[in-house]
Structure 1
Amino acid sequence: MPFTSLHRRRFTGLACAALCAAATPFAWASDYPNKPVKLVVPYPPGGPTDIVARVVAQKLQEQMGQPFVIDNRPGAGANIGAEAVARSPADGYTLVVATTAHAINPSLFSKLNYSITKDFAPVSQLTSGPLVIVTHPATPANNVKELIALAKSKQGGLNYASSGNGQSTHLSAELFSASAGVKMAHVPYKGSAPALTDVMGGQADLMFDTMLSSMPHVKAGKLKALAVTSSQRSPSAPDIPTVAESGLPGYEAIAWNGVLAPAGTPKEVVDRLNAELKKALDNPEVKQRFEAQGFAAAWNTPTAYAGFLQAEVDKWGKVVKASGAKID
Structure 2
Amino acid sequence: MKNIQTRRQTLRQLGALTLAGAAGSAWAQAAGDKTVRIVLPNAVSSGVDTITRTAQNALSKALGHPVVVENQPGAGGVLGVQTVVRAAPDGLTLGVVSNNVVIFPSVLKSLPFDLHTDVTPIAICGYTPVVLVVNPKVPATNAKEFTAFLKSKNGEANFASGGNGTILHLAAEMFLDEAGVKARHIPYKGVGPMLTDLIGGQVEFATAALPSVQQHLKSGALRAIGIATSQRVPAAPDLPTFVEQGLPGYVVEAWFGVIGPKGLPAADVKRINAAVVTAFADPGVMEAMAKQGNVINVSTPERAQTFFKDEMLKYAKLVKKAGIEAQ
The TM-score by the shorter chain falls in which range?
0.7 to 0.9
Q: Which amino acid aligns with 2:116?
A: T
Match of 2:160 in 1: 161
Match of 2:210 in 1: 211
Match of 1:282 in 2: 281
Change (3 A) 1:153 1:140: same
Q: Tell me how far apart the structure 1 counterparts of residues 95 and 202 of structure 2 sit (CA, whole Å).
A: 37
Question: Which residues of 2 match residues 47-196 of structure 1 at below 5 A?
Answer: 47-156=46-155, 158-196=157-195
Q: Tell me how far apart the structure 1 counterparts of residues 201 and 105 of structure 2 sit (CA, whole Å).
A: 34
* Contact kept in structure 2, 1:236 and 1:294, CA below 8 Å: yes
Q: Tell me how far apart the structure 2 counterparts of residues 310 and 56 of structure 1 sit (CA, whole Å).
A: 26
Deviation (angstroms), 1:250: 2.7
Q: Specify every segment of 5 or more residues in structure 2 that has no aligned partner in the other structure, as ranges.
A: 1-21
Change (3 A) 1:152 1:283: same
- My pick for the range that moved more, 317-326 or 223-232, is 317-326
Q: Tell me how far apart the structure 1 counterparts of residues 23 and 284 of structure 2 sit (CA, whole Å).
A: 30
Change (3 A) 1:94 1:236: same
Which of 21, 27, 31 is matched with 2:26 structurally? 31
Identity of aligned residues (%): 39
* Contact kept in structure 2, 1:48 and 1:293, CA below 8 Å: no
* Contact kept in structure 1, 2:47 and 2:128, CA below 8 Å: no
Q: Tell me how far apart the structure 2 counterparts of residues 261 and 236 of structure 1 sit (CA, whole Å).
A: 31
Match of 2:5 in 1: none
Q: Which amino acid aligns with 2:286?
A: K
Secondary structure of the structure 2 residue equivalent to 1:95: strand
Q: Does 1:298 pair with 2:297?
A: yes
TM-score w.r.t. the length of structure 1 is: 0.80
Q: Report the RMSD for the aligned CA atoms in angstroms.
A: 2.8
Change (3 A) 1:94 1:218: closer
- My pick for the range that moved more, 305-314 or 189-198, is 189-198
* Contact kept in structure 1, 2:124 and 2:298, CA below 8 Å: yes
Q: Which amino acid aligns with 2:92?
A: Y
Q: Tell me how far apart the structure 2 counterparts of residues 212 and 60 of structure 1 sit (CA, whole Å).
A: 19
Deviation (angstroms), 1:85: 1.9
Deviation (angstroms), 1:230: 2.5
Runs of 4+ in 1 over 6 A off after TM superposition: 27-30
Change (3 A) 1:50 1:213: closer
- My pick for the range that moved more, 108-117 or 73-82, is 73-82
Q: Specify every segment of 5 or more residues in structure 1 that has no aligned partner in the other structure, as ranges.
A: 1-26
* Contact kept in structure 2, 1:179 and 1:248, CA below 8 Å: yes
Match of 2:16 in 1: none
Secondary structure of the structure 1 residue equivalent to 2:184: strand
Q: Tell me how far apart the structure 1 counterparts of residues 182 and 218 of structure 2 sit (CA, whole Å).
A: 29
- My pick for the range that moved more, 292-301 or 171-180, is 292-301
Q: Which amino acid aligns with 1:56?
A: A
Deviation (angstroms), 1:263: 2.7
Match of 2:264 in 1: 265
Secondary structure of the structure 2 residue equivalent to 1:32: helix
- My pick for the range that moved more, 186-195 or 269-278, is 186-195
Q: Does 1:313 pair with 2:308?
A: no
Deviation (angstroms), 1:227: 0.7
Deviation (angstroms), 1:214: 2.6
